[in-house]
Structure 1
Amino acid sequence: MLDLRKLARQIQGLSQHLTLEAAASRQRLELAQENLKQAFKCQQELIERQEKWRDRILFANATPIEPLQTYIDIPVPPKVHTVISTDGSQIAPNHHEIAYCYLLNIGRVVLHYGQNRHPLLDSLPEVFYRPEDLYVSHPWGIRTEEWMGYRRTAWEITVLAELACSAKTEAPALAMVDGSLIYWFLDKLPMDARDHILPPILEAWQQMRKAQIPIMGYLSASRNIEAMNFLRFLACPHPVPDCISYCPNQLEYMPCKIFESLRDTSLWATQLQPGQRSPLWRSNAQILELYSDQIIYFCYVHVGTEIARIEVPAWVAENSAMFNEALGLMLAQVQKGYGYPVAIAEAHNQAVVRGGDRSHFFALLEREMIKAGIKNVGTSYKEARKRGSIP
């Protein structure tokens, strides 16, 4: 039980800290705005420095593909279109439950607008219980709980591609996912483990590419700083941005980190009007070297309620007509969802496994185990005790 009286004294200190941090953040933002104006004048020079010294730079950064002062109004989408989305949820394996297994549940949504067609709103569950499912990741030092999350990510995209291709008509379509298309977790995985996760994702993207259905990652409240870090080339006090030679210890203070902890969204919130997008950027994340020709591009969009980060593969970004139409469909989704894309929200609602669903799952599992003649079916004493309290 939470002791609110003891907590109240700590909350007072937290409030004071947040007040000071807000003041410091405003100063950093003003400095970032000044540097952005300077970068307008020497953008190409900064890009050349970035490209020349990219192997010596120790911080994540992105390359602007358009002039930094680009603010483009997003076009109105066609009335007749289709939006597809998937999201996932799971029941994690637990040695204290009646059986050691896990469940993945993928929410599926296909919304047709102006076509007099019924929407699809359902979920696709699957139980994993075989040893090759539960323990395949152990030789790589990856816990089953982590591996379950990685498999879910790949399955979400695979199901999305299947839905998108089967729902394709003459009407424009957009496939949307919640979160980034840059799978940062792959960077820490062994190569053999990556080969189980990334190829199915890239194959699914390729299927949508052939069907000419753009895929888009929508990031709400993004914490990314790739665009802000581009301004660090302007703030670097050294002759060249050679981090390895001049600043090998990234934990120490560095003059170019004057915008530290300032997010991309904070800067673009001061530049964009509702319904506008920022310049297009190309991510230089190292993990994208594994993506072949499907490099990720992104921009920031003022959707009215927030600044959202929008990510697309290269084949979408390089097709200006497809990209602009996709942005229009995205913005319409946000407006229909009162601040958040309705298709993504509905996919989440279809996927989420609630407490009652969990209980029904284990009750069904228990019944089948008893029917199969398995004895002593039940949770561990520890789990049973945790679910109760002192009488």
Structure 2
Amino acid sequence: MLNLLKVAGQMQGISEQLQKEAKQLADKLSRAEILFQSAIANQAQLTQNRQQWSDRLAFNCAEPMESLQEIRVIPPMASPHTVLATDGSQIAPSRHEIAYCYLINVGRVALHYGSGAYPLLDSVPEVYYKPEDLYGARKWGIQTEEWMTFKRTVAEAIALAELAEVSLPTPTETTHEVYPILALSDGSLIHWELDPLPKEARAKILPDILSAWERLRNAGIPLASYISSPRTVEAINFLRLQACTFAQPDCATHCANKLLDYVPCSQVQPLRDATLWNRLLQPGECSPLWHSHAPILQEYGDHDIYFCYLHVGSEVARIEMPAWTALDEQLRLRSLSLILAQVQKGYGYPVALAEAHNQAVVTGSDRHRFFAILENQMIKSGLRNVSTSYKEARKRGSIA
């Protein structure tokens, strides 16, 4: 049991630390604005420096695809449209349960506005129990729990593609108008977590995700992801090129032996992209389009990822799109308009993503019922000595 009295005694220290960090953040934000204004005038040279010295930079740096002054006003979509979304949850494997297996539950949502069609709100569960699902990744040093999260990411992408294919926009009977449709994902499309994996392990995950995206592209349905409270610094790192005091931004030569806090370009660290754009954007406005250069994107092929920052009123969110959505200006602006409408309908967060999460979530009681069903099935199959470990049984029957 948590002793709240002891916790309360530590809160003052947290408050003082946060107050100190807030003052430092304000100072760094002012410096970042000055660098941003300078970068506007030097954008072409900075872009050239990034391209020429990318292999010598000590940080990952995005590249603006439009003028840094290109700020657009995005009107929320008011005409009939459809938004699709998926999200996942799981029951993790435990050696203390009656069987070592795991479950992935993918929530699916299709919301139709202005057409009179009924929404789809359901979930698709799948149980993984075969040895290749439980132990196959251990040869790469990946634990089952971590591999389960990768499998969930794949399941979410495939479910979104399947949902899109059965929700293809068709002309209405009366007006023959095709309603806009958007496939919306929660979290980043840049799977940074796959970068440190062995190539053989990535080959079991990434191609399935890209294949699902290809199905969306073939269906003509744009894909976008919504990242709430983003922590990325790819755009801020572009300003580090402006802050560099050397003729060439050759980090490996000039700053290899220096600590981060003592290099010339660290004056805006650890400021985040969203913090800067929160100062530069008004509600309903969108930043220029940026091209990410995350290392993992080298394996994305035609599905290279672009992003922008959208002030939705409640926060500045990062919106990511694959190249075939982002580089089609009409498609990109329509997707942003749909996202903004979703945030307004969801009172600060896209309603489709919130409902997909609600459909996917697995509660504690769901977990108990899952293992109860499994226990009954095992007994029906003739298995004996079906029970949890003594540790799990003791935890469930505490006398405290």
Alignment TM-score, normalising by the size of structure 2: 0.96
Residue matched to 1:199? 207
Question: Is the contact between residue 93 and residue 145 of structure 2 (CA under 8 Å) also seen in structure 1?
Answer: yes
CA distance in 1, matches of 2:380, 2:256: 63
Shift of 1:372: 1.0
1:4 Cα offset (Å): 2.5
Q: Aligned equivalents of 1:223 and 1:76: distance in 2? A: 25
**Match of 1:189, as an amino acid?**
L
Cα distance, 1:368 vs structure 2: 0.4
Q: Aligned AA for 1:268?
A: W
Match of residue 116 from structure 2: 116
Structure 2 unaligned blocks of 5 or more: 170-177
Are 1:216 and 2:251 an aligned pair?
no
How far does residue 78 in structure 1 lie from its aligned partner after superposition?
A: 4.8
SS at match of 1:273: coil
Q: Which residue of 1 aligns with 2:173?
A: none
The 5 A counterparts of 1:114-153 are: 114-153=114-153
1:247 and 2:234 correspond = no
1:279 and 2:288 matched: yes
After superposition, give the CA deviation of every residue in 1:201-260 in whole Å (9 maximum; x if it has no partner): 111111111111011010000001000010000111222111111122574431201111
> 1:355–1:296: structure 2 CA closer, same or farther, 3 Å change rule?
same
| AA matched with 2:340 | L
Corresponding residue of 2:97:
97
- CA shift, 1:9, in A, is 2.5
Cα offset, 1:18, TM superposition: 1.0
Equivalent residue, structure 2, for 1:320: 329
Q: After TM superposition, give the deviation of residue 21 of structure 1 in Å.
A: 0.8
Structure 1 runs not aligned, ≥5 long: none
Q: How does 1:77-92 map to 2 (within 5 A)?
A: 77-92=77-92
How far has the Cα of 1:269 moved from its partner? 0.6
Q: Which residue of 1 aligns with 2:187?
A: 179
- SS of match in other structure, 1:293: helix
Partner of 1:381: 390
1:296: Cα distance to partner? 0.4
Task: Please tell me whether the aligned partners of residues 62 and 281 of structure 1 are also in contact (alpha carbons under 8 angstroms).
Answer: yes
Q: Tell me which amino acid in the other structure corresponds to 1:149.
A: T
Match of 1:228 among 229, 236, 245: 236
SS of equivalent residue, structure 1 residue 177: strand
Compared CA separation, residues 45 and 88, structure 1 to 2 (3 A)? same
Using the alignment, how far apart are the partners of 2:256 and 2:111 within structure 1?
A: 51
- Give the Cα–Cα distance (whole angstroms) in 2 for the partners of residues 161 and 177 of structure 1: 11
- Partner in structure 1 of residue 159 of structure 2: 159
Secondary structure of the residue that 1:167 maps to in structure 2? coil
Confirm or deny that 1:350 pairs with 2:348: no
Equivalence map 1:24-103=2 (5 Å): 24-103=24-103
TM-score (structure 1 length as normaliser): 0.98
Q: Deviations over 1:74-129 (max 9, x none)?
A: 13425211100000000000000011000000000011111111111000000011
Q: CA-to-partner distance for each residue in 1:177-220, whole Å, 9 max, x for gaps?
A: 11000000110111111111111111111111111101101000
Relative to structure 1, the CA distance from residue 293 to residue 249 in structure 2 (aligned partners, 3 Å threshold; closer, same or farther) is: farther
Which residue is equivalent to 2:346? 337
What's the CA shift for 1:293?
1.9
Q: Which moved more, 1:273-282 or 1:375-384?
A: 375-384
